[in-house]
Amino acid sequence: MIISTKSLLMAVLALCFVLGQPALAAGPHSHEGPTTTARPELDHGKKWPTDDVLRRGMDDISLAMRQSLAPIHSNVFTPAQYEALATRIQAQVDDVVGNCKLPEQADQQLHLVLEQIIDGAATMKTGTSRDQGAMKIVRALAQYGKYFDHAGWQPLQH
């Protein structure tokens, strides 16, 4: 049986989220171990391409975070709200990983951003420093906007 790279990565991402791992171990694109400290890079000075699936998923993650930031900063966001937010974000990540069609190099760069989003969502579910998980997602969304060509992308103000 042949397993596609996307299928394998989706399984790894799902497993890491379920286990609450802070970041992915070496994935199918990695040749140098964990990439948690790696930052995306531009494509010879240009932003990486996106597709409709990626743009929709990232727009929804951004919207979810935008709607949640005020109560998070006011310390009135409940554990149940953090868990619901993390679940919503993870559903979008799963959809992007399963359905996004990018060239391999762009895909590799995207996974550096998605790792941070997955880690932030896992932190929001753990019960400790949930707000730090939310801020990690905000930072990842800023990276996404800096490195990916997404018309109309607006960074979150926090």
Whether pLDDT at 33 is above 80: no
Nearest to 96 by CA among 134, 141, 37, 34: 141
Residue 109: name the closest of 51, 44, 41 by CA: 41
| Residue 155 · residue 145 · CB < 8 Å | yes
- Contact (Cβ atoms closer than 8 angstroms) between residue 156 and residue 65: yes
**Of residues 149 and 10, more confidently modeled:** 149
pLDDT given for residue 39 in this prediction:
86
The structural domains of the chain, with segments of one domain joined by +, span: 5-23+48-147
Between 31-45, 74-88, 111-125, 134-148, the lowest mean confidence (pLDDT) is in: 31-45
Cα 8 from chain centre: 17
Of 123, 134, 96, 113, the C-alpha closest to 20 is: 123
Please report, rounded to a whole number, the percentage of residues in the chain having pLDDT higher than 70.
76
This prediction has a pTM of 0.77
Our separate counts of H helices and E strands in the chain read: 5, 0
Instruction: Report pLDDT for 128.
Output: 82
Compare 70 and 157 and report the one with higher pLDDT.
70
